[in-house]
Amino acid sequence: MKILGMDSSGLVASVAVVEDDILVAEYTVNHKKTHSQTLLPMLDEVARMTELDLESIDAIAVAAGPGSFTGLRIGASTVKALGFALDKPVVSVPTCHGLAYNMWGTDDVVCPILDARRNQVYTGAYEFVDGKLQVIKDQDAMGIDELICYLNQLGRKVIFVGDGIPVYQDYIKENIKSEFQFAPAGFNRQRASSVAALGACLYAEGKFENADDHKPIYLRKSQAEREREEQLNKEG
């Protein structure tokens, strides 16, 4: 089974190919370019370096959200176009699930935190049981204070991953009561290899869709939509 993985849900752009539990290639960039500039050139480079025939892949796994609205739209449009052109199914991998998969095999709770602005994070809580990712708390948008309160009640050691760490690490250090760690570089940001690996598991379970049916998971309205509603409420 050969899976193409793509993630543009956050600050990181990442493309990977996983074949039968072997990482063939991964190209990940965490820099100040828009994903529309990087995603397809990265895919072209991966295909060129590995002599990959895109027709040979079985499915395309994509980090479906939540995350950056612009990044999710770029990822969705790219994957839909590829899936349609290649006639390949799409596996929608929830962003927080994919991030948690970076820490495969740990005995601790994995807590992804993505900065959602306004003191909110996109987050969830996960564990691994017999090598399989299990959801303790499904991904959602919530205040960082609400999240830490939940984790304190959970009472287990937590490993944090995600781009929310630099934003909220001081708050976490001051308020969490459980033992915790911040994942190191290489594990603490989105990786297309994790999206592809988890996507392969989901694909084997029959959890895939046609490219035309793929839609991003936003969880909440965009900033522009919220500001428009606030303006309309003021005018009303």
H-helix or E-strand spanning residue 153: helix 144-154
State pLDDT tens for residues 124-155. Answer: 999 999 999 999 999 999 999 999 999 999 99
Structure tokens at 231: 């303006």
Query: pTM for the full model?
Result: 0.91
pLDDT value for 236: 58
CA angle 77, 29, 209 (to 5 degrees): 30
Q: Name residues whose C-beta falls within 8 Å of residue 82's C-beta, 6 or more positions apart in sequence.
A: 4, 54, 60, 88, 211
State pLDDT tens for residues 179-192. Answer: 999 999 999 999 99
pLDDT value for 229: 47
Query: pLDDT-derived band of residue 34, with 50, 70 and 90 as boundaries?
Result: confident
State pLDDT tens for residues 177-234. Answer: 999 999 999 999 999 999 999 999 999 999 999 999 999 999 875 554 444 545 555 5
β-pairing verdict for 109-115 and 120-129:
antiparallel
State pLDDT tens for residues 154-183. Answer: 999 999 999 999 999 999 999 999 999 999
pLDDT value for 233: 53
Residue 201, CB-side half-sphere exposure with 13 Å CA sphere: 13
pLDDT value for 231: 54
Query: For residues 188 and 69, is the Cβ–Cβ distance under 8 A?
Result: no
Nearest to 112 by CA among 90, 144, 153, 76: 144
